[in-house]
Structure 1
C-alpha cells in the first residue's frame, strides 16, 4: 500500500550479525557518536557532513506516515543527496525521541539507481564498532563505521535499514520532499526495488551521512537552520530543489564543493516548543546545527512561525503563545551567542513575504517588518542575506512574486528556492 502523496502536507504549511553493540548516550549531548571508536573518528577533522536532517518526535500533523506505528520486520530504504563527495562514507542514526532502545538489525549503503534500486556492485554492509547490529538507547545517537564508497558532490546514496524487532514509535523527519521505501522482511542487499511496495515522504532514524577522503575544496561546512522554508516545503518531490540544495549546486559549479547541511524543520519556532515541530530553535540549535563536524558558517532563517502561529487556528495542536518582536530578537541573540561561543560565523536571513497566506494580518506584517528592520540594521549578525527582497513582488513587496510562489503565498516553489540561493554571497562563506 502506498502512502498518500506529500501535496496535502505541503499545502498545510514526507545477514544478521551474531553480536550486538549497545551504544550508551553521550553525556551532555545527543549529537555525538556512541562508542569510543566512533567518538575518536567524530573528533577528528577526517569526517565532513554530506547530508543531514533534524530529528523530530513521532507525529502525523498533516498526513499519515510511519512514525507513530514504527516498524517490525521491515526494511526501510532512504535516498539522500550528498553535497560534498569522498572515498569513504558513514551514517548517523538517531533514537532521540524513542521511549525504548532501538535495535538496528543491519544496514547497507549504496549508490542510488532509479527509485528504490541501487547501482550494481555498490552495496556496502555497514557495521557499528565492527558489529553488524546496533542497539541505540532512548535519546541516543550512533555513527556507523566508515566504509569505502566513492561518491561525488551532488550524487545520491541509498541507505537501507533492516528492523527485525518492533521499534515502537520512530524518531523521524517529517517533510522530506523525498520518497522513502518500505518492504516486508529483510531486503537490505537487494539491488532491485521490487520488494519495496510502500512509500512515504519522510525520513526515519537517519539523521546524517558523512564522507571522508577525496579532494573537497573546503573542509568547513555550511549549516542552514530554520523552519519549513529551509526544510524545502513547496519544492518538488525528489527534485533536490530546496534552497540549501541550490546553494550546494552553486558551490560545486564554482569548483568549491562543500558540505551544506539542512537543519530546517517545518513548523519550528525560535521561542516556543511544539509537539509536532520539535523543540524551540534556541534549544535544538546546539543539538542539530552546532553538533555537525567542522561547521564554519550557519545561515539562520526562522521566526515566521513565532509570529503567525499564535493567530492561525489551523496550526497543529492549536495556536501557540503570542511572541513579541523583542522576544523574537532575544531568541536570535541567543542563537548568535551560541554560534560565536563555538567560533562559528552566523548569517541572519530576513523573513520572507507572507501576504495572502494564512499567517497574514496587519499586526503580523508589522512584526515581520520590525524584525527585518532590526536584522538589517543592528549589525548583530556577522552578515545578512535579504531573502525578503529576493522573493518579494516589486508591485506588492509584502507578497511573494507569483513566479516564486508554491501556491500557498507562504512557501516558495522551486524557482523561489533558486532565487534564495542566488541571494547568498558565496564570498561570505
Structure 2
C-alpha cells in the first residue's frame, strides 16, 4: 500500500517563549536541561517523524539527545516504548538560527489521542527557546545544570512544569494515500484558550490536558464518521490577519505565516481559516477593508497551492473588555467582515461559526452557555458547537 507523511499534531511556533506561561508559572530555562514535551496526536500509526523549531531565535541551538515514548502519568513514560529520535542518522542535532528541522522516521506504534512524550536535552543555554505559548497541555522539564534525562522513565528529575510548548512543533505519521490533513488556521479561538477571569490573562486550569479545543472536537466527529482526514491545530493566541503580534508569543500575521503553518503542513488538503478578531480588538486596530484584503491574499496563496479553503465567520465579542468595551467600532467592523465572508466566492465554502454560537437575544454577544468569563472566548461547550458547525461533506465526508 502506498503511504505518505500526514501531519497528526502541530503547535505553530509563536515566538521566543515568555518567562511566564499561560498558567502564570515562571518559565525557568537557563542551561543544561531536559524538556519533556507532551503532545496528543490526532491520528495513530506505526511510523512517525518529529518537527523541532528554532524559528525565532537569532542563535543556533544544539540538542544532544531527543527521544520519544508513550506518556503514562505526568512526566513518566512507558520505558518499553522509548525510542531514540535521529536526525540524518545522528543522535545530536544543531538547529541553525531562524530554522526548523524534521527527524528521520521512527518506528513506534501509537493510537489517536494517545499522548506521546518528546524529550529534548539542551546541553547549552536555553534562555527563551522558540515554542508555542498557549499549548493547553502540560509539559515537564528539569532544573538548570541537571544534565540529560531524555531516557528517565519515571520523570523524577523533570519536576518543573509549563503549559507552553518549547521546541516541538509537529508530529507526522505515515498514512495511506487517501488520508490528508485539515489545518485549522487561526487565533486563540482555534488555539483553544478558555479564560478563567473576565480579562483574558490566565487560562482556565480545568480545560488543560483534556483536548477540548474545537479542532479536537472536530477530529472526534471526523473519526466517528469514518472520514479519512486528520485535523491539526495551527492556531496562535493573539494572532492577527494583517499585523505581526507586538507581544512576544502572538506570532507573525496570518499573511506572513500561511506558507510555513498551512501550505507546508504534511499532507494538507484543506484549511479552515478563522482569524480576524484581534485585528479589530487589539491596538493598533485595523479597518474592515484591510482585513478583507488580507483574507484575499491568504485565500489566493492557499488556492494557488491546490488547497481547499473554508472561511469561518468571526465570533461576537459583546461585553469583552478589550475587544468590545475599549474597541469603539469592533462590533460594527466584525459584522461588516462577516457580511463579506458570507457573500464572497473566493473560498471553497463558508463555516458560519457566528450563527452557531451567538446569543439569539443579543447577536453581538456569545450565547451564555457557550461563553467563558471573558466573554471573548468560547468555553468547552462552545468549542464543541464550533466543531458541530462544520459540514463534513466539504472536507470529503458524506
Same fold (TM over 0.5): yes
Alignment correspondent of 2:357: 391
User: What does 1:176-255 align with in structure 2 at a 5 Å threshold?
Assistant: 176-183=135-142, 184-213=146-175, 218-234=178-194, 236-255=207-226
Alignment correspondent of 1:14: none
Take 2:34 and 2:190, find their aligned partners in 1: how far apart are those partners?
29
Alignment correspondent of 1:57: 15
User: What does 1:235-314 align with in structure 2 at a 5 Å threshold?
Assistant: 236-275=207-246, 276=248, 277-310=250-283
User: Could you tell which deviates more after superposition, 323-332 or 359-368?
Assistant: 359-368
For the 8 Å contact 2:17–2:129, the answer to whether it is kept is: no
Local SS of the residue matching 1:100: coil
Take 2:269 and 2:386, find their aligned partners in 1: how far apart are those partners?
20
Take 1:45 and 1:305, find their aligned partners in 2: how far apart are those partners?
39
State the 1:64 CA deviation.
5.0
Q: Does 1:124 align with 2:83?
A: yes
Alignment correspondent of 2:287: 324
State the 1:419 CA deviation.
0.5
For the 8 Å contact 1:53–1:207, the answer to whether it is kept is: yes
For the 8 Å contact 2:270–2:309, the answer to whether it is kept is: yes
For the 8 Å contact 2:185–2:235, the answer to whether it is kept is: yes
Local SS of the residue matching 1:409: coil
Q: Deviations over 1:232-286 (max 9, x none)?
A: 1017110101001111111112223532111111001101112321111101111
Take 2:380 and 2:334, find their aligned partners in 1: how far apart are those partners?
23
For the 8 Å contact 1:45–1:294, the answer to whether it is kept is: no
Instruction: In structure 1, list runs of 5 or more residues that go unmatched.
Output: 1-43, 311-319
Name the count of aligned residue pairs: 372
Local SS of the residue matching 2:295: helix
Alignment correspondent of 2:73: 114
Q: Does 1:364 align with 2:330?
A: yes
User: Could you tell which deviates more after superposition, 166-175 or 339-348?
Assistant: 166-175
For the 8 Å contact 2:46–2:173, the answer to whether it is kept is: yes
User: Could you tell which deviates more after superposition, 258-267 or 124-133?
Assistant: 258-267
Local SS of the residue matching 1:253: helix
Take 1:225 and 1:57, find their aligned partners in 2: how far apart are those partners?
17
For the 8 Å contact 1:228–1:264, the answer to whether it is kept is: yes
Higher strand fraction (1 or 2): 2
For the 8 Å contact 1:52–1:208, the answer to whether it is kept is: yes
Local SS of the residue matching 1:73: strand
Q: Deviations over 1:52-83 (max 9, x none)?
A: 011122243764553xx744211111111111
State the 1:393 CA deviation.
1.3
Q: Deviations over 1:216-236 (max 9, x none)?
A: 8x4211001011000110171
For the 8 Å contact 1:71–1:163, the answer to whether it is kept is: no
For the 8 Å contact 1:116–1:192, the answer to whether it is kept is: yes
State the 1:140 CA deviation.
1.2
Local SS of the residue matching 1:196: coil
Q: Which structure 1 residue ranges, 4+ long, deviate > 4 Å from structure 2? A: none
User: What does 1:370-409 align with in structure 2 at a 5 Å threshold?
Assistant: 370-409=336-375
Alignment correspondent of 2:199: none
For the 8 Å contact 2:17–2:130, the answer to whether it is kept is: no
Q: Deviations over 1:164-196 (max 9, x none)?
A: 111342101100111010113211112212222
Take 1:422 and 1:120, find their aligned partners in 2: how far apart are those partners?
38
User: What does 1:33-48 align with in structure 2 at a 5 Å threshold?
Assistant: 46-48=4-6
Instruction: In structure 2, list runs of 5 or more residues that go unmatched.
Output: 195-203
TM-score normalised to structure 2 length:
0.90
Alignment correspondent of 1:142: 101
For the 8 Å contact 1:83–1:257, the answer to whether it is kept is: no
TM-score normalised to structure 1 length:
0.84
